[in-house]
Amino acid sequence: MTEDHCTNCEVIFTRLQKMGYTGGISILKEFVHPLRPAVAGHAPVQRYETKPGDQVQFDWGEFVYEEAGELRKYYGFVAILGYSRMRFVTFVKRCDTPTLIRCLMETFEYFGGLTRVALTDRMKSVLLEMVENQPKWNPRFADFMVSIGVGARVCKPYTPQTKGKVERSVSHVKKSLWAGIIFTDLDDLNRQARAWGERINTRVHRTTHVRPVERLVEERLLPLPADFAWERFATEERKVSWDGYLSYDGVLYGVPGPLHLAGRSVLVRECKGVLTMWSDGKRIFEIEKRPRSQESVPHPDQWKSVPSVSAQRRTPVLWDICSRRPMS
């Protein structure tokens, strides 16, 4: 509790058992209870239940960690199905609109289908502003939601309890998964998050008294779009620098044959830890995504067709005797 500021008894109990603790969890709860910080009061809220397949709630949480003496941050994307309480958690470096769409795609793929409605708060990646009580949606987000046929809903201002299921889920991730977690990089963190989610989804839920994974079959989710109707939202535009690199999530990836791509925009698709680059409808190359930022990954054919500076200097130059200028 002193080292990790963790007061979640289930997390503490599991860790103590690995250290040789043979006692029960009840005496542990009695020890922890008086040491927990006071919880601020909340106004009473009526519980709102949704029908199968009706709603998914999603939200972001900020997760701070220390690396080499510096505080760093990941964004945790959390989604939950309103009826079955199935949860999905993933961690990313950004929370912009393209990343949000990619996280939603991973969510629907994990759940195995689409809901009729998605509920969240008024983040800029979803809602730009309200004009005369009418929503002005983020264009890219709106295009995605309309194309897949899922209705978008946002909470009223200052009423996060409207999406209480995901609010509690984000809090649960911070108190249970994040408390005292040790990871080597983002990939390792997401592997642990996926394993944690599998455990949570197979436990009996305190409200429904049913395991979420068992209730999932009752959701009867709508089928995912196929082929291009789905895949086109997974790409992001990136510009190739003049020295033959493109930047993605803080990592520089060398591009093969930059003579015709330097200075141009290309499309990048991230899927299951692999980056694929496309240009003019053609796949240029694939590479395993690097989890650590500030890394440079040159390509073996990056400068294959580009002469070196020394070679250019050795190239003979023909002069026009009359004008005393180099000939083209």
Mean pLDDT of 106-110: 96
Q: How many domains does the chain have?
A: 3
Which residues, 6 or more positions from 68, have their beta carbon under 8 angstroms from its beta carbon? none
Q: How far apart are CA 166 and CA 87, in angstroms?
A: 9
Residue 28 lies inside a defined structural domain of this protein: yes
pLDDT at 48: 65
- Which residue segment(s) compose the domain that 238 sits in? 228-310
Complete DSSP assignment for 32-52: HGGGSPPPPP----------T
If asked whether residues 53 and 30 sit together in one domain, one would say no
Q: For position 217, what pLDDT does the model report? A: 94
Whether 246 shows a pLDDT value over 80: the answer reads yes
Check pLDDT > 90 for residue 260. no
The mean pLDDT of the chain is: 86
The answer to whether residue 258 scores a pLDDT higher than 90 is no
**156 and 289 share one domain:** no
Please give the Cα distance from 61 to 64 (Å, whole number): 10
198 and 157 co-located in one domain:
yes
Report for 88-92, 132-136, 159-163, 308-312: range of highest mean pLDDT = 88-92
The answer to which of 87-101, 198-212, 233-247 has the lowest mean pLDDT is: 233-247
CATH number reported for the structural domain that contains residue 120 in this entry: 3.30.420.10
pLDDT of residue 271: 83
Rounded Cα distance, 247 and 250, in Å? 6
- Write out the two tokens for 97: 């609109």
Going from the C-alpha of 123 to that of each of 31, 64, 104, 132, 306, the distances in angstroms are: 40, 20, 15, 18, 45
| Domain-located, residue 325 | no
Nearest to 57 by CA among 130, 161, 128, 158: 161
pTM: 0.76
In a domain, 223, yes or no: no
Name the strand (E) or helix (H) holding 326.
Answer: strand 325-326
Burial state string for 9-27 with b = 16 or more CB within 10 A and e = fewer than 16: bebbbeeeeeeeeeeebee
Percentage, residues of the chain above pLDDT 70: 86
Res 91: pLDDT: 97
Model confidence at 327: pLDDT above 60: no
Whether residue 65 is found in the same domain as residue 178: yes
pLDDT of residue 281: 79
Q: What is the dihedral of CA 228, 234, 235, 236, to 10 degrees?
A: 150
pLDDT score, position 273: 85
112-171 tens-digit pLDDT: 999 999 999 899 999 999 888 888 999 999 999 999 999 999 987 766 667 889 999 999
> What is the rounded radius of gyration, in angstroms, for the C-alpha atoms of the chain?
26
Task: Give backbone dihedrals phi and psi of 157, rounded to 5 degrees, phi first.
Answer: -60, 135
Specify if 301 maps to a domain.
yes
Say which residue, 179 or 311, is predicted with more confidence: 179
- The 10s digit of each residue's pLDDT in 174-207 is 999 998 789 999 999 999 999 999 999 999 999 9
- The residue with greater pLDDT, 42 or 103, is 103
Are 143 and 210 members of one domain?
A: yes
Give the pLDDT of residue 314. 54
- What is the C-alpha separation between 94 and 73, in angstroms, rounded? 10
Position 46 pLDDT exceeds 80: no
Can you give the pLDDT at residue 288?
Answer: 92
**Residue 324 above 80 pLDDT?**
no
Q: Copy the structure tokens of residue 176.
A: 């249970």
Q: Is there a single domain that holds both residue 201 and residue 249?
A: no
| Tokens, residue 41 | 């009061």
- Tens digits of residue pLDDT in 268-298: 988 888 999 988 878 888 999 998 888 899 8
Domain identity same for 68 and 192:
yes
Does residue 10 sit within a domain? Answer: yes
Closest CA to 240 of 258, 216, 215: 258
Q: Are strands 282-288 and 274-279 parallel, antiparallel or unpaired?
A: antiparallel
**Can you list the pairs that 37-40 forms with residues at least 24 positions away whose Cβ atoms lie under 8 Å?**
37/7
- Is the per-residue pLDDT at 221 higher than 90? yes
Same domain, yes or no, for 192 and 277?
A: no
* CA pair distance 11, 1, nearest whole angstrom: 11
How confident is residue 321, by pLDDT bands cut at 50, 70 and 90?
low
Q: DSSP label at 84?
A: T
193 and 245 assigned to the same domain: no
Single out the residue in 199, 218, 237 at which a domain terminates. 218
| 20 lies in the same domain as 142 | no
Q: Is residue 18 part of a domain?
A: yes
**Any residues with CB less than 8 A from the CB of 111 and at least 6 apart, and which?**
56, 81, 86, 88, 216, 219, 221
Is residue 321 situated within a structural domain? Answer: no
In 3D space, the residue among 64, 13, 31, 84 whose CA is nearest the CA of residue 178 turns out to be 64
Residues 100 and 32 grouped into a single domain: no
Q: 248 with 174, same domain?
A: no
pLDDT of residue 248: 92
Q: Does a structural domain hold residue 251?
A: yes
